[in-house]
């Protein structure tokens, strides 16, 4: 699992989702514990021994890497909130440009609707006929302050089939039952972001 | 052939044609049998032993992989219909964004015309002077339901030189005499999609 | 040199310049002879033993690869014409989308002017103050028929500092004194194409 | 450090920041000396033994590579000026298209403002609430002539938190305390360039 997380970080880096030391991933590891990448490091260079083990119930570090210069991600409370409130097994955090541009489409609304795309079938519980809403929240100065907005949107019935939250000017949090579903959901949502941004550009010209 | 199919899936993944577990490929293998990738798996990670052998005449599984968790692709009936009706030796299914945007260009029409591009010469039976029509069909809830629309367009004389079918909001099916021609046709058609979408964006601004 | 040509074909393929079996490269090899890639093959898979040796004075094959299924490129007469008329040591042929879109900018004119870009300094004999003209010719049904247009533009004083010819709807021929200058010129010209197309898109909106 | 510099040049090449032999990087190495890549070479092919050691105080070459055909980069005086005036430990020079298009946004102004992007937090000393100005200077015929404009903007209080200078029609210089911070700043600034260019394209259509 540790090696797989590092491999996925390298893949996400190649895709431009975790550049500039931003973004990250966590995955359940054992009972009520979760493996998380450190903050402020070049994500494509994270080694298996660099990961933190965190208690997903209270967010406390259970096992820190030997390298004491590494710090736990500021996303950690957010990751834990999603794991608990959604019963997810893994969460990734993307700094992709397409996520920022997709959030821009919301304007002052609290959501972006994704529709008319086969790729919706790649989301657990969705069909390609769905109008699939993803909540869009406001960015905050520090990442833990996003948590209350997130708890709120995760509790809304409209978003019960959403596996992602867009953060304006920032990116997205995307989750799944396990690390493989999170990878699939991440690829699907980034496709939805890119397709919907491209279609919006075309419509704005008509 | 099994290793080659897996190599091409990795290549298609790098190109963004089979992300989010979508898309796939099949190739004739022996007499009236075809090798097909499983569904619902990360296509760049398919191993040679994960492939199904299917009877292309009746679509039945002749040989299943040892890993019993793998399921045959929903595309399998479509792949077999193309192999039989067109005498193709291989079919690939793309979930590329450029295919979705190219299909958008059809509006309510039943086709997109590709023209004024040297790359048309890369299609078997075409010249760079051709106005090359590709049929565009409507997406359906489940992939096997596409089959009747496909049989219809494949039977139309207008599309006798087409080696591709675009599916609105979904992607494309692209085929060739063998796996190498299918790879060449896939690269040519995706170039045609990208070029024609880029030119349409420019014209819409004039 | 044979291995280097194959390595550059793989690089050009990754950049999207020689997809769908299109495009290619040749390089001087000995006295008045030139190594050329075969036609109709997946360029990223060409092996050193697949290359033809051609007499650059008369275009005749001096040494053919052992694999008798390989055919010499239709570009070969064009490559030889550029080598002789410009004293080039290597020529590459690109099927890049950016070359097609850059040629579109010419409209009915016989040229595109590239200017206000530092990258012009990467062209032998140019400064970043230059208004650098690249000739744009019409596409023909078969590649050897491009040759007379090419001889004409290569003889025009306006284009004496050009190391490239754009072919409408098709791509570009780019050359240099040797294979390394050709690689540098190819990277510079594709940058000029992309930058000038991007700037034209912006201006068309004003 | 020598191997790391070569590795980063290969990475920057893949990202399209140092194509056509343009761009480069330097990094402090010992006391008041700096390792710099040679000029006019394909940057992704630079070997550890190809690097120059330069005295950052006076810009003189302390140790030249054995290969006497290699020449010190024209950027060297600029690199040294940034190291001294900003106390930086490493500087990279980008020829990315996104940097050119971002500089275009300045028009006749002396700066581009980057704002409303979480990625600003990836810049040392910045928050995501900042309106972050980057100075934009005019291109000159030869790179050393940029130096006086650079000294001027680096001395302006408005730009005290900037770690980059955009050069019109040319690219960007980006620096950090050490090579790792320079890599992070380079990834962050290129993201800011791409995002701000994309948002400007959208707004120009409204």
Write the pLDDT tens digit of every residue in B82-126.
999 999 999 999 999 999 999 999 999 999 999 999 999 999 999
CA distance D204 to chain A (A): 10
pLDDT surpassing 60 at residue B206? no
Q: How far is B125 from chain A (nearest CA, A)?
A: 31
- Which of D118, D185, D198 is the closest to A101 by Cβ? D198
Spatial separation of the C-alpha atoms in residues B100 and C84, rounded to whole Å: 45
Is residue A47 within 8 A of residue A10, CB to CB? The reply is no
Nearest to A204 among D117, D188, D205 (CB): D205
pTM recorded for the entire structure: 0.96
Calpha distance A142→D187 (Å, rounded)? 21
**Could B169 and A194 be called an inter-chain contact, meaning their C-beta atoms sit closer than 8 Å?**
no
Smallest CA–CA distance from B180 into chain C, residue: C42
Which of the given ranges, A72-86, B47-61, B169-183, C63-77, has the highest pLDDT on average? B169-183
The tokens describing B83, both together, are 């192999």
Give the CATH number of domain C2-203.
Answer: 3.40.225.10
Q: Are A75 and A6 in contact (CB under 8 A)?
A: no
Active site annotation includes C44: no
Inter-chain contact D19–C127, Cβ cutoff 8 Å? no
Spatial distance between the Cα atoms of C59 and C79, rounded to a whole number of angstroms: 9
The model's pLDDT over D12-49, given as tens digits with 9 standing for 90+, comes to 999 999 999 999 999 998 888 999 999 999 999 999 99
Closest chain A residue to the Cα of B167, Cα to Cα: A118
Closest alpha carbon to C165 in B195, C155, D42:
C155
Instruction: For residue B36, give the 3-state DSSP assignment.
Output: strand
HSE, side-chain direction, 13 A CA sphere, residue B153: 24
- Kindly tell me if the per-residue pLDDT of A205 is higher than 70: no
Q: Verify whether the Cβ–Cβ distance C119 to D22 is below 8 Å.
A: yes
pLDDT digits (tens, 9 = 90+) for C24-48: 999 998 888 999 999 999 999 999 9
The verdict on a CB contact (< 8 Å) between A42 and D199 is no
Give B49's Cβ-side CA count (13 Å radius). 4
Tell me, yes or no, if C131 comes closer than 8 A to chain D by beta carbon.
no
User: Across residues C120-142, what is the average pLDDT?
Assistant: 96
Question: Could you read off the pLDDT of D159-202 as tens digits, one per residue?
Answer: 999 999 999 999 999 999 999 999 999 999 999 999 999 999 98
pLDDT, mean over chain D:
95
Mean pLDDT rounded to a whole number for chain A: 95
Taking only the tens place, the pLDDT of each residue in B116-126 is: 999 999 999 99
Position with higher pLDDT, A32 vs D164: D164
**Catalytically active residues of D, by annotation:** 118
Cα R_g (chain C), whole angstroms: 16
Q: What is the pLDDT of residue D205?
A: 55
D40 to chain C: closest CA residue? C122
CB A37 within 8 A of CB A24: yes
The answer to whether A139 and A145 have CB atoms below 8 angstroms apart is no
Residue B205 pLDDT more than 90?
Answer: no
Backbone angles phi, psi at C172, to 5 degrees: -145, 150
* Residue D206 binned pLDDT confidence (cut-offs 50, 70, 90): very low
**DSSP E strand stretches across chain A:** 24-28, 33-36, 52-55, 61-63, 90-94, 111-114, 132-137, 164-167, 171-176
Q: Which pair of structure tokens corresponds to residue D74?
A: 């024209």
Nearest to B130 by CA among A48, D69, C139, C51: C139
Helices and strands counted in chain B (H then E): 5, 9
Contacts (Cβ under 8 Å, ≥6 apart) of B20: A119, A122, A184, A187, A188, A191, B95
Alpha-carbon gap, residue C147 to C81, rounded angstroms: 8
Given a cut of 50, whether residue A206 has pLDDT beyond it is no
Minimal CA separation from D176 to chain C, in Å: 24
| Chain centroid to CA D18 | 11
**pLDDT, tens digit, for every residue of B56-83?**
988 899 999 999 999 998 778 899 999 9
Q: Inter-chain contact D19–C187, Cβ cutoff 8 Å?
A: yes
Residue D41: the pLDDT is 95
Using an 8 Å Cβ cutoff, are B99 and B193 in contact?
Answer: yes
**SS3 (DSSP) at C99:** helix
Catalytic residue among B118, B147, B181, B187: B118
Q: Do A202 and B205 touch (CB under 8 A)?
A: no
Residue of chain B nearest A192, judged by CA positions: B97
Return the active site residues of A: 118
Question: What integer pLDDT is reported at residue C76 of this predicted model?
Answer: 87
Residues in chain A: 206
Residues in CB range of C201: below 8 A, 6 or more apart: B201, B202, B205, D201
**Structure-token pair, residue B98:** 């450029």
- Tell me the residues of chain B between 50 and 109 that have a Cβ less than 8 Å away from chain C: none
Q: Are B24 and B73 in contact (CB under 8 A)?
A: yes
C-alpha D104: how far from its chain's center?
17
* pLDDT band with cut points at 50, 70 and 90 for residue C206: very low
């Amino acid at each position: 699992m540790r090696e797989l997380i590092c491999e996925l970080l390298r893949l996400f880096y190649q895709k431009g989702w975790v550049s500039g030391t931003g973004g990250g991933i966590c995955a359940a590891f054992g009972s009520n514990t979760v493996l998380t990448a450190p903050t402020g490091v070049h994500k494509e260079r994270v080694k298996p021994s660099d990961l933190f083990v965190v208690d997903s119930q209270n967010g406390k570090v259970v096992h820190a890497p030997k390298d004491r210069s590494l710090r736990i991600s500021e996303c950690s409370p957010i990751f834990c909130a999603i794991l608990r409130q959604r019963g997810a097994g893994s969460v990734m955090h993307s700094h992709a440009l397409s996520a920022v541009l997709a959030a821009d489409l919301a304007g002052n609304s609290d959501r972006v609707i994704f529709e008319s795309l086969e790729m919706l079938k790649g989301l657990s519980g969705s069909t390609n006929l769905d109008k699939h809403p993803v909540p869009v929240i406001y960015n905050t100065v520090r990442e833990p302050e996003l948590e209350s907005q997130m708890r709120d949107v995760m509790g809304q019935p409209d978003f019960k089939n959403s596996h992602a939250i867009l953060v304006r000017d920032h990116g997205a949090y995307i989750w799944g039952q396990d690390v493989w579903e999170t990878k699939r959901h991440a690829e699907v949502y980034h496709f939805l972001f890119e397709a919907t941004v491209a279609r919006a550009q075309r419509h704005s010209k008509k």
